[in-house]
Amino acid sequence: MNLYGIRAIYIFEMARTFRTLMESIASPILSTSLYFVVFGAAIGSRMGDIDGIGYGAFIIPGLLMLSLLNESISNASFGIYFPKFTGTVYEVLSAPLSSLEIVIGYVGAAATKSVMLGILMLLTARLFVDYQILHPLWMIGFLLLTATTFSLFGFIIGLWADDFQKLQIVPLMVVTPLTFLGGAFYSIDMLPEPWRALSLFNPVVYLISGFRWSFYGVADVNVAVSLAMICGIMLACLAIIAWIFKTGYRLKT
C-alpha cells in the first residue's frame, strides 16, 4: 500500500478546500441557513407538526442530506475532473499507485470535507431551531456512509465528464430534484397515491428517511432498508469505478 501516495493526494485535495474556504464551506452554510430562515422560522411557524415534530426541526435531516449529496458530488467530481482537464493527472497516472489508492485519496478528501460541512451545518441549525438526535451513532454512521458513497458517485461523474456542463448536469438535473421530491420538506406519507408509491423508486427517499430516523426515531421506510439502500449504492459505485480503472475509460488513451 502506497500510504505516502494516498496522503499526498489527500493533502493536496484538502489544501484546495481550505484555499477556497469561502466557496467550499461558507457558501453552502449560508444557503442552508437561508433554508432554515425561510422554511424553518418564517413558513415553519405556520406549518403544523409532522409526525409530532416541529416543521423547522423536521426539515433538518433533509436539508443536511441535500447539501451532503450536492457537496460530495460536486467536490469529488471536480477533484478528479480538474486535473484531467488541465492534464496534470499525468503525474497521478505515472505514480506507483493502485486505482484503489487513488480513489481513497480523492474520495477520502471529498468525504472528509462533506462530513465537516455536515457538522458545521448541524451547529448552524442550532442557531435557528431546537432539535434532538435520538441515535447519535446512527446519525454519524449515516453521515459518513452518505458522504463516502456520494463522493464515490461524484468521482465517477468527474471521470465520465469531458466538459464542465456534464460536470454540473447530474447534481443539478438529477440529485437536486430527487432530493426535493425525496421528502426533504415533507413526509412521503403525506403524498396521495400514486405519488407515494412512485416516491419509493427514488433512492434519496431512503437516505433522508434513515437519516431522519437517527434524529427523531420516525421514518417513512424501515431504517434497515435505508441502510441496505445506501450500502447498495456504495457497492454499485465501487463496481463502476473498478470497471473504469480496469478499462482506463476516459482516463487513459
Partner 1 sequence: MDSIISIQDLSKHYASGLQALNRVNLDIRRGEIFALLGPNGAGKTTLINIICGIVTPSAGSVRVDGHDISADYRQARSRIGLVPQELLTAAFENVEATLQFSRGLFGKPPAPALLEQILRDLSLWDKRKTKIMALSGGMKRRLLIAKALAHEPDILFLDEPTAGVDVELRRDMWQMVRRLRERGVTIILTTHYIEEAEEMADRIGVIHKGEIILVEDKAALMSKLGKKQLELTLQAPLTTLPTELADYPLEITREGHALTYTFDTQQEQTGIHELLRQLDRLGIDIKDLHSSESSLEEIFVNLVRDRS
Residues that bind partner 1 (CB under 8 A): 2-5, 7-9, 11-12, 15-16, 19, 83, 86-88, 90-98, 248, 252-253
| Residue among 20 and 132 whose Cβ is closer to partner 1 | 20
| Residue among 83 and 183 whose Cβ is closer to partner 1 | 83
| Residue among 81 and 128 whose Cβ is closer to partner 1 | 81
| Residue among 49 and 91 whose Cβ is closer to partner 1 | 91
Q: Find the shortest distance in angstroms from Cβ 83 to partner 1.
A: 8
Backbone angles phi, psi at 50, to 5 degrees: -115, 130
| Residue among 17 and 70 whose Cβ is closer to partner 1 | 17
Q: Find the shortest distance in angstroms from Cβ 16 to partner 1.
A: 7
